[in-house]
Chains A and B, each alone.
Chain A
Amino acid sequence: MVVVNPLKCTGCAFCVPVCPSRAITSRGRAEIDTDRCVACLECLDYCPVAALCRGKNRKEPHE
């Protein structure tokens, strides 16, 4: 599962079109439908500000 860091997310919506399961919506800030997310992690690479991270522990895979 992937979570959004609301302090980092700028709301650009770049993550929305890349999600194969249409789990992300964004209106000023991204939100992830955890029931739909298949944890493919594709969205992580497209976030320009590293606001998306894996799992609940907020550990950022890229940093």
Chain B
Amino acid sequence: MNDRAHCDVLVLGSGMGGLATAALLARDGFRVIVAEKMPRIGGRCSTMDYDGFKCITGVVGVETKGIVQELFHRVGADFDVQEAGAPHYLINGQICQVPSRGGMKHLMMAAGADAMDVETVMNAITGALHWRTPSCDVALGDWLRQYTSNPKIIEIFQALVSAVLFVNVNELSVHTYFEFLRKLKGIQRFGYAPGGSIRLAQSLARVVLDNGGEIWTRCRVNAIKSHKNIVRGATVSRWGKSISIKAPVVISNVGPKETARLAETGILDHSYLRELDQRMKPAVITALQFAMDEPLFESNHLLVTGTQSLNSVYQPTMVCPEWAPEGRHLLVAGSAPRNCREPFDGNLEIERCLADLRAVFPDFDSRAKLLLAGTFQGAWPGMHSLPGEDMDRKTPVINLYNVGDGVKPLGYTGLPGVVATGIDVAEEVMGRNKILTGAP
């Protein structure tokens, strides 16, 4: 291989943000190279084979009938996701299915809230959705406590925002919460990718390759190069060689902080660096994966209320049996600390999650064998920023963009958020290119 290469667009990282952008631009005729340091693609939307179990690296549940599916459709990629069906909650030890209409009301009633309380909260939600969104300064928990003193009602909201937005009711602004309800409808529909979440990444990668793009794995980006504040490309190492890749546009999927580090912070302006430091607080989560002979409960997914840190349990094998060896099941338990800004103790968090699982499911230890205990924090977090605390997708270096979960639009989270950044940046690049080349 040559020690020099060039392309129209260089994408750093093959997470779903990078691949979404790469697929869109490759389809539009740009020559794209994706540089990925790991041997496998997908980043936190991938699959690790372990004893025949398709263990997750991040994404378990994939939003359906939304922006992710739209993107796949737009680039002609196969969107193979099996619907998981209606969500279920565990409330007071009982599994409650959420009906397609009046879900929140039903859940609050199941929690034993009195009818007056339920009506007051429902009216407040309707008002906030259809009339006036409450101010950014109020936390969702405080806002709810104006209408109810019932902790079980607050717990229902806590389970959802902790599992899906990776933040607690007392830390999430009510404004961001209602944007989430508006933009993503609270993610009511989701499913699992047969064969593992990596299949989604592979499906987008195929579009890149079929349209003349390249994906280089085991290729670490060491520095982003720029001249007079305009990006020029990057230097990477692959197979022990250093390669300089020239590109007029660089799209980074490695997280805004790492992008700044690779771009040699000195050349970025100081106010940007200060903003990075102040805003970028990683969302901290824990995912425990277990092998089982029998399912623990009858649905494939439960949002769990009233625990110290456990918020959700998935049994993807109820929908996609091939995620485990024949006749066996995979269980994924997700948890997040009740204060996501306090120093994180991974071992303690794992113990808390295990204690919750034992309290919720009788005989847990004899039914589930721990495969992997993963904590996601710091430089490799649940998400690079808490919802509503994202950075701009443009960096101070011209033609250097960020995509991924540190730059998601308000109201978005996880995969839909990441895909939204890819679409936004790809469209911006296509638009600017038309201006520069005079194309119609």
Contact = CB atoms under 8 A, between A and B. Distances in A.
B379 A10 contact: yes
Interface string B203-228: 00000000000000010100000000
B39 interface: yes
A43 to B, nearest CB: 11
B425 to A, nearest CB: 22
B151 interface: no
B378 A28 contact: no
B347 A10 contact: no
A12 interface: yes
B39 A13 contact: no
B38 A46 contact: yes
A8 B375 CA distance: 13
B376 A10 contact: yes
B378 A14 contact: no
Contacts of B55: 17
A45 B39 contact: yes
Nearest to B289: A13
A46 B55 CA distance: 14
A46 B375 CA distance: 15
B49 A11 contact: no
B350 interface: yes
A14 B57 contact: yes
A20 interface: no
A34 to B, nearest CB: 21
B380 interface: yes
A16 interface: yes
Nearest to B258: A49
B331 to A, nearest CB: 15
B131 interface: no
The 3 closest A-B pairs by CB, nearest first: A28-B346, A11-B375, A28-B347
Interface of A: 8, 10-14, 16-18, 26-29, 45-46, 48-49, 62
18 contacts: A8-B379, A10-B377, A10-B381, A11-B374, A11-B377, A12-B380, A13-B374, A14-B57, A17-B49, A17-B50, A17-B55, A28-B348, A29-B347, A46-B38, A46-B40, A48-B38, A49-B378, A49-B380
